[in-house]
Amino acid sequence: MDLDVLYEIDVPRPWPGSPPHGQRDAEQRAYREAVEQIRLADRMGFRTVWAVEHHFREGRSHCPAPEVLLGHLASLTERIRLGFGVTLTPFGFTPPQRIAEKVATVDVLSGGRVERGTGRSTPMEQAAFGVDRERSREDWREAIGIVTGMWREEYFEYASERFRFPRRMVTPKPVQDPHREILRTIEILGKEVIPELARYVPRTAGA
């Protein structure tokens, strides 16, 4: 049986000490402990570690840059797969070209151990980034295709109502060729897309 672990880097309150020092100490300890636990999971044969991308969720999730954590883990682990669970993909969070670059870089550093999930985030986070929630589902789908194209094609060019990208070579390319099936994930309350999500789970469960 394959076992995975998921990290949001929870830093529950109350934080000891006066602000902001208590927060800093608690966050540093949470990251240190997470890295130690993941190294142990690697030695014990766990299949994948997933690092969640969230923003401004105080106390619950202090992991806004999973690519940094996973890149660090690439040099400290040998077998465990490194999962982006998830990258926030609608336009406004991170441009598709930056997602393609960051995920592929970790894949290179890890020797081809990356898994990638995508999501739309929460209304609170969308508001802070100026993401239009009404358009986020459409943007999410479009951005998934753009990132995939940037990995597959030597030179990529794209133009639509929502996104334009001149002909460029996006580097690096992932080690995994073709890249592993993209795992589409969504915030837990996104009931309107559960049927769509179910279409993809069987195809990736044994990947």
Domain count, the chain: 1
Dihedral class, residue 23 (left if φ above 0, else alpha if ψ from -120 to 50, else beta):
alpha
Q: What is the CATH number of the domain that holds 132?
A: 3.20.20.30
Domain of 44?
4-205
Q: Which residues, 6 or more positions from 30, have their beta carbon under 8 angstroms from its beta carbon?
A: 9, 10, 11, 62
- Give which of 74, 54, 71 is closest to 10, Cα–Cα: 54
Reported as a single tens digit per residue, the pLDDT across 82-110 is: 999 989 999 999 999 999 999 999 999 99
Beta strand extents in the chain (DSSP E only): 4-7, 48-51, 81-88, 114-119, 156-159, 164-168, 183-184
The stretch 113-138 carries a mean pLDDT of 94
Considering the chain, what is the average pLDDT of its residues? 87
The residue with greater pLDDT, 177 or 171, is: 171
5 pLDDT band (50/70/90 cuts)? very high
Output the pLDDT for position 135.
94
